[in-house]
Amino acid sequence: MKIVIITETFLPSIDGVVTRLTAAIKHLRKMNHEVVVIAPDLGVYEYEGATVEGVKATIMPFYRYRPFALPQKEVKALLLKHDPDLVHVVNPALVGATGVYYAKKLGYPLIASYHTHIPKYLDYYWIYKPMKPVFWAYARKLHNMAAINLCTSKAIQEELIAKNFHNVHLWKRGVDINKFHPSHANKSMRKRLSNNQVNKKLLVFVGRLAVEKEIHKLKPLLEARDDVCLAIVGDGPAREMLDNTFEGTNTVFTGFMQGQELAEAFASADALIFPSVTETLGLVILEAMAAGLPVIAAKSGPTMEQITDKKTGLLFENGNTQSLIHAIEQLEDQELQSRLRENVRQEAEKFSWSEPSQQLLKFYDELLESS
């Protein structure tokens, strides 16, 4: 079949959405399906044999961290040019909204997937918080134009159904269990991440640096425990604020990492720290687990789907410093830490990318059969 995927984010951007999409595209191409990606033009025009059609991208005044593609008629021309069997719109909001509109207008079977919990993000930006009902209504309208909707965790599935999104299905999670592996641990990376304080407990945060990720809430831990180091891997609009927040603490900012470098960072730490409660899944949790790294995470629906307390990680109450410190203290139990490392790798091995990618193909087949 011929598939057009319209997405708000794609390579060379690095995030969970892109990771999931690239894994799916590899699988689809291996099965000899034709894939065209319509995405913001960031200089990538081919991936694994899939054509990438870049559309004009613009830096937005409220978010200068990366460019976005706004709604535009070019999407209609590209749909007519490629004339797909179906259209998959990923996170419809801006250019994706145009994709939904023109796919429906031109009569193409349409599937949409929900990855970024924007209405929840608004809780962290007081100026926009009153607009939550508007954002929910906008997202619901776009997604309900699709015949099938996908999301990445049961908790989000339940929330979307409660918000009257139609025909919502769970798109299972996956991880590259060969790329992320305990064998990638090395002393050089640990020195880098800990600023040469290799004997201290090394916690690593991996992700976009934004207010809703709640990274700033880790500072009281570092003030209370001088035997803990924090490595913050990633970049984003809150970088300058976080630089100021963590000044004088045992914190290292590395910027973005990917590939072998990221695999080494995961495997060389003592735990992944995951303070956010706004994620629709949190793919880095599974990547850390594949690297044999215990996860210390704030309790939320999506994180608790992935982590069983004291079996595959340690859970704490969001915003509760004492609860977080207690989780760190439990990590001092060497027997527990060893058991966690073994358990997380075993758990991750259940989730290769082949199953969710094959599942997506099944949804595509169902969509075509019902169209």
pLDDT tens-digit profile of 18-55? 999 999 999 999 999 999 999 999 999 999 999 999 99
| Short-list 148, 38, 52, 43, CA closest to 97 | 38
35: tokens are 């894939």
Residue 13 has pLDDT above 80, yes or no: yes
DSSP 5: E
Q: How far apart are CA 301 and CA 155, in angstroms?
A: 5
Mean pLDDT for the chain overall: 96
Residue 70 has pLDDT above 90, yes or no: yes
The position carrying tokens 């990923």 is 90
Per-residue pLDDT band for 371 (boundaries 50, 70, 90) equals confident
Q: How far apart are CA 178 and CA 160, in angstroms?
A: 33
Which domains occur in the chain, in start order?
Answer: 2-174+353-370 (3.40.50.2000), 182-348 (3.40.50.2000)
319 compared with 150, residue with greater pLDDT:
150
Query: What pLDDT does 2 receive?
Result: 98
Burial 215-236 (b: 16+ CB within 10 A, else e): bebbbebbeebeebbbbbbbbb
Query: What pLDDT does 127 receive?
Result: 78
Q: For residue 150, give the 3-state DSSP assignment.
A: strand
Q: How far apart are CA 184 and CA 119, in angstroms?
A: 37
